[in-house]
């Protein structure tokens, strides 16, 4: 094929293959070094890795961008055009999956031997479309056009067993032991992805597992002559890695989901023990070689799996196995929502993993004995702390299993870790306080500043050099420039250029027009009631209502473009209603000539990492408005602040730390604090009383109920309005006035562009703490205790 016949995708694939070829030498050298040194590594076990596009990141890591752009130009090809055809691997839902991607980037950049383990979903997070303003999901066939960044290794497949039953037998010494007789099995095929460090020669591995039918299983059925049955069996096996579950923070207790979880951790443990460690390695020394970091409860079934390997396959006694298992696992909790804490019914485990259930029972028995020994006579406490819940059905509390077993348990922001200790896991922290620690989340400055915001990056580098890319605390050197009018005006130019670029992307992507002269006010995150997109809607509706009723002259309204980005879990009714409402308000407000384009709402469908990289650098205002005590950390909040947006936010998650760092005068705080929320709720919260007392709130809610946004159909948004008036679990109405007042402060502040820009610069200068490099150093110091290993690049060619 010659260049004239090549499609853009062909050219993209060719470039991708060239870049990955260049990385290959480094990848092999990284592996060789690890084999040579046998140093301690970190295995990050995560059901999600929300990677985002790979080309740009690889070009940056290799420092090949300039060369690539020039050589392509020589062939009459624009690098920019190739960039846009890459389909991002959306193998995650939101914050948790993106965090995993940031962490493996930072580990590689910090030269830490590490490996990510997860699932190669054939379909990632669904593609969101709107039909009449309502969310409709489309499958994300991300592999369709080729996947140049992955390396399949069918020859290294491992077998994973399921089902069957256990039998009691005697071992060589006549002791009674349990033996698992599995009912069926599948194979896991590893697909390796390169995880290049930033220009340091290290290339770590992300190993994602894909399920297929086992050869033996195939043969058995084919030989029986049942061809169609055999093909069906293949489909059954492949189903396991078919699709990412689209619920974020609200797990669905589906059997297939448990199959996914066990599938990928069983593959990963076997791979690490048998293929990564040298042959014959003495597993008693496993803690010297690895920490398995459990990203939330999704991989927690790895705990009984390791016990099973050590006891059933290696013949160890219980105490020996428990001692090693205790040391190699650590658990990160990412939530405070009770409904997000995963439990698996024992009936399901019995059917799918009977041996693991036995092991969990034994872990619980020993643990409860310890509890009773520590707190004699306190049966209530023992019941509360049991790994096994007895109602509404018998079920395993995965967070408890992880807490009891892990060497460390961490939350993801200071407030979150404190609330874990004081509330969600209080009994455990009382019993073993030294187990609990905090590691505040972070984001990778490579992707979310250097790549996403080349304008700002150039400005920063000009001012303080380029060391900040791997040492983000150095952003503090920008602090004096907050009073340099020349710097401020250049900063403002960068923001304006980023708005123009965002407007271009919106136009090309969705045909949406963005007025680059307005304040860009962004709320982008999964749609969840606790995150309170409804509060944002009420702000907009209230402004609109005030203008329409003549209470507020339109000239007094700060021109704003409200940007929403949010996917709802397909089965989450209320979330989907809220999406419909946002679109309905958008249509009405945008089409109203009386608004003169002063208030514009844009809600591009299918918000993803790629769009985030365009939006965040363009934003002026970052909306972080969850009810206090519910957002574990947030990471979008960090990305916005680092790109010079000011935050309007509650005292929740990492907002607390952002505000501490940037200073009260550079942050718009509003709403109840967590203890206040607690007080209001326990005193018996009555949302209707706020409706009765507050005229602006009443008018806004009444307008929604009147059918003003639904062509006069009054019932359209009744479920939302009724829920707010009667339930309002997340105190939207209680925080409404405080939010409106804070938004008025935003308007006042924005009117003084010099002062605003100064605040924006200070946000950048003071938030270097939120680099995921710092998060990784904290994990290394507090939990992993692994050392960096540098890779010598001097001998390598391209």
* Catalytic residue (one of 416, 528, 630, 639): 639
Would the CA dihedral through 365, 369, 370, 376 be positive or negative?
A: positive
- The minimum distance between CB 791 and ligand Z15, in angstroms, equals 29
Q: Which residues between 196 and 225 bind ligand Z15 (CB under 6 A)?
A: none
Among the residue ranges 6-14, 144-152, 471-479, 632-640, the one whose residues contact ligand Z15 (CB under 6 A): 632-640
- The minimum distance between CB 628 and ligand Z15, in angstroms, equals 13
How crowded is residue 285: how many other Cβ atoms within 10 Å of its Cβ?
10
334 is catalytic: yes
**Per-residue x/- marks for ligand Z15, 108-147, CB under 6 A?**
----------------------------------------
**Residue with Cβ nearer ligand Z15 (124 or 653):** 653
**Residue with Cβ nearer ligand Z15 (54 or 635):** 635
**Residue with Cβ nearer ligand Z15 (62 or 533):** 533
Token representation of residue 136:
């409709």
Q: Rounded to whole angstroms, how far apart are CA atoms 228 and 207?
A: 32
Q: Which of 166, 205, 441, 622 binds ligand Z15 (CB under 6 A)?
A: 441
User: Which residue has 């991607």 as its token pair?
Assistant: 101
426 is catalytic: no
**Residue with Cβ nearer ligand Z15 (293 or 325):** 293
In sequence order, which residues have a C-beta less than 8 Å from that of residue 466 and are 6 or more positions away? none
Helix (H) or strand (E) holding 235: helix 227-238
757 is catalytic: no
Q: Rounded to whole angstroms, how far apart are CA atoms 123 and 117?
A: 18
By the rule CB under 6 A, 340 interacts with ligand Z15: yes
By the rule CB under 6 A, 90 interacts with ligand Z15: no
User: Which residue has 């048998």 as its token pair?
Assistant: 274
Phi, psi of 44 (to 5 degrees): -95, 110
Token representation of residue 110:
């910090």
526 is catalytic: yes
Among the residue ranges 69-77, 361-369, 628-636, 721-729, the one whose residues contact ligand Z15 (CB under 6 A): 628-636
By the rule CB under 6 A, 521 interacts with ligand Z15: no
Among the residue ranges 91-99, 199-207, 454-462, 561-569, the one whose residues contact ligand Z15 (CB under 6 A): 91-99
Helix (H) or strand (E) holding 332: strand 329-332
Token representation of residue 254:
């589906």
* Catalytic residue (one of 526, 528, 598, 774): 526
Q: Which of 68, 72, 79, 96 binds ligand Z15 (CB under 6 A)?
A: 96
**Residue with Cβ nearer ligand Z15 (246 or 634):** 634
Helix (H) or strand (E) holding 527: none
By the rule CB under 6 A, 296 interacts with ligand Z15: yes
By the rule CB under 6 A, 635 interacts with ligand Z15: yes
635 is catalytic: yes
**Residue with Cβ nearer ligand Z15 (367 or 770):** 770
Helices (H) and strands (E) in the chain, counts: 32, 25
User: Which residue has 């990284």 as its token pair?
Assistant: 30
**Residue with Cβ nearer ligand Z15 (441 or 757):** 441
By the rule CB under 6 A, 608 interacts with ligand Z15: no
Would the CA dihedral through 142, 145, 147, 148 be positive or negative?
A: negative
CA distances from 385 to 389, 399, 468 (A): 9, 11, 45
How crowded is residue 596: how many other Cβ atoms within 10 Å of its Cβ?
12
165 is catalytic: no
Report whether 302 contacts 45 (CB < 8 A). yes
- The minimum distance between CB 45 and ligand Z15, in angstroms, equals 14
By the rule CB under 6 A, 291 interacts with ligand Z15: no
By the rule CB under 6 A, 470 interacts with ligand Z15: no
Ranges assigned E (strand) in 51-200:
90-91, 114-119, 127-131, 134-138, 150-152, 158-162, 165-170, 176-181, 184-196
CA distances from 685 to 678, 720, 725, 731 (A): 10, 18, 11, 8
**Per-residue x/- marks for ligand Z15, 401-430, CB under 6 A?**
-----------x------------------
Token representation of residue 106:
């930072």
Q: Which of 631, 657, 716, 773 binds ligand Z15 (CB under 6 A)?
A: 631
Gyration radius of the chain over CA positions: 27
- The minimum distance between CB 113 and ligand Z15, in angstroms, equals 23
Residues that bind ligand Z15 in the complex, under the rule CB under 6 A = 93-96, 99, 248-249, 296, 334-335, 340, 412, 441, 631-635, 653
Question: Which residues have a catalytic role annotated?
Answer: 334, 525-526, 531, 635, 639
């Amino acid at each position: 094929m010659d260049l004239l016949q090549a499609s853009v995708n062909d050219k993209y694939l060719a470039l991708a293959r060239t870049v990955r070829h260049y990385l290959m030498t480094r990848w092999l050298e990284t592996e060789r070094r690890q084999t040579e040194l046998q140093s301690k590594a970190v295995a990050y076990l995560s059901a999600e890795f929300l990677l985002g596009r790979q080309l740009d990141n690889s070009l940056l890591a290799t420092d090949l961008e300039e060369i690539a752009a020039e050589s392509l130009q020589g062939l009459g090809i624009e690098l920019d055009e190739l960039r846009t055809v890459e389909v991002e691997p959306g193998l995650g839902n939101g914050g948790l999956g993106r965090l995993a991607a940031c962490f493996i980037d930072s580990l590689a950049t910090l030269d830490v031997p590490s490996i990510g383990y997860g699932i190669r979903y054939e379909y990632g997070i669904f593609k969101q479309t709107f039909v009449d303003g309502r969310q409709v999901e489309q499958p994300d066939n991300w592999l369709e056009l080729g996947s140049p960044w992955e390396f399949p290794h069918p020859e290294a497949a491992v077998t994973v067993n399921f089902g069957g039953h256990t039998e009691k037998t005697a071992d060589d010494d006549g002791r009674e032991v349990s033996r698992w007789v599995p009912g069926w099995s599948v194979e896991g095929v590893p697909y390796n992805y390169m995880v290049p460090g930033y220009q340091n020669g290290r290339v770590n591995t992300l190993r994602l597992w894909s399920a297929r039918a086992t050869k033996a299983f195939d043969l058995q059925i084919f030989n029986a002559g049942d061809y169609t049955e055999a093909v069906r069996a293949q489909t059954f096996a492949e189903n396991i890695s078919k699709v990412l579950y689209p619920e974020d923070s609200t797990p669905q207790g589906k059997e297939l989901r448990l199959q996914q979880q066990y599938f990928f951790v069983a593959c990963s443990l076997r791979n690490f023990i048998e293929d990564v460690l040298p042959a014959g390695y003495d597993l008693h020394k496993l803690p010297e070689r690895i920490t398995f970091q459990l990203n939330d409860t999704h991989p927690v079934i790895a705990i009984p799996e390791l016990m099973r390997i050590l006891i059933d396959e290696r013949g160890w006694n219980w105490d020996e196995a428990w001692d090693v298992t205790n040391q190699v696992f650590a658990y990160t909790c990412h939530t405070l929502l009770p409904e997000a804490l995963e439990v698996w019914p024992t009936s399901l485990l019995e059917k799918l993993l009977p041996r693991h259930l036995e092991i969990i029972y034994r872990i619980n028995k020993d643990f409860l004995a310890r509890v009773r020994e520590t707190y004699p006579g306190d049966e209530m406490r023992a019941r509360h702390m049991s790994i096994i819940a007895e109602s509404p059905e018998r079920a395993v509390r995965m967070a408890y299993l992880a807490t009891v077993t892990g060497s460390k348990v961490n939350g993801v922001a200071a407030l979150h870790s404190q609330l874990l200790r004081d509330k969600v896991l209080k009994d455990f922290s009382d019993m073993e306080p030294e187990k609990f620690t905090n590691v505040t989340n972070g984001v990778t400055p490579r992707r979310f500043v250097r790549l996403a915001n080349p304008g700002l990056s150039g400005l920063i580098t000009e001012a303080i050099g380029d060391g900040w890319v791997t040492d983000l605390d150095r952003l503090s050197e920008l602090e004096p420039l907050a009073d340099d009018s020349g710097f401020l005006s250049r900063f403002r130019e960068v923001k304006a250029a980023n708005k123009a670029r965002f407007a271009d992307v919106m136009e090309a992507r969705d045909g949406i027009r963005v007025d680059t002269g307005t304040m860009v006010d962004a709320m982008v995150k999964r749609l969840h009631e606790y995150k309170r997109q409804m509060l944002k809607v009420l702000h907009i509706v209230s402004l609109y209502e005030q203008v329409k009723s003549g209470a507020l002259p339109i000239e007094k309204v700060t021109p704003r473009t409200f940007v929403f980005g949010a996917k709802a879990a397909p089965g989450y009714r209320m979330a989907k209603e809220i999406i419909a409402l946002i679109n309905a308000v958008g249509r009405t407000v945008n089409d109203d000539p009386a608004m003169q384009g002063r208030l514009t709402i844009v809600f591009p469908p299918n918000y993803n990492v790629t769009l985030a990289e365009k939006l965040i650098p363009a934003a002026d205002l970052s909306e972080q408005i969850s009810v206090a005590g519910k957002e574990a950390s947030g990471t979008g909040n960090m990305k916005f602040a680092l790109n010079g947006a000011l935050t309007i936010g509650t005292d929740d998650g990492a907002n607390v730390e952002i505000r501490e760092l940037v200073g009260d005068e550079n942050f718009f705080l509003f709403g109840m604090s967590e203890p206040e929320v607690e007080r209001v709720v326990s005193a018996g919260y009555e949302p209707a009383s706020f409706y009765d007392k507050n005229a602006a709130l009443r008018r806004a809610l009444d307008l929604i109920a009147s059918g003003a946004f639904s062509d006069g159909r009054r019932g359209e948004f009744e479920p939302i309005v009724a829920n707010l008036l009667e339930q309002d679990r997340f105190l939207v109405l209680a925080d409404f006035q405080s939010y409106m007042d804070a938004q008025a402060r935003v308007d006042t502040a924005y009117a003084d562009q010099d002062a605003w820009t100064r605040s924006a610069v200070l946000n950048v200068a003071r938030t270097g703490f939120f680099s995921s490099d710092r998060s990784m150093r904290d994990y290394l110091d507090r939990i992993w205790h692994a050392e960096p290993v540098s890779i010598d690049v001097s001998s390598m060619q391209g």
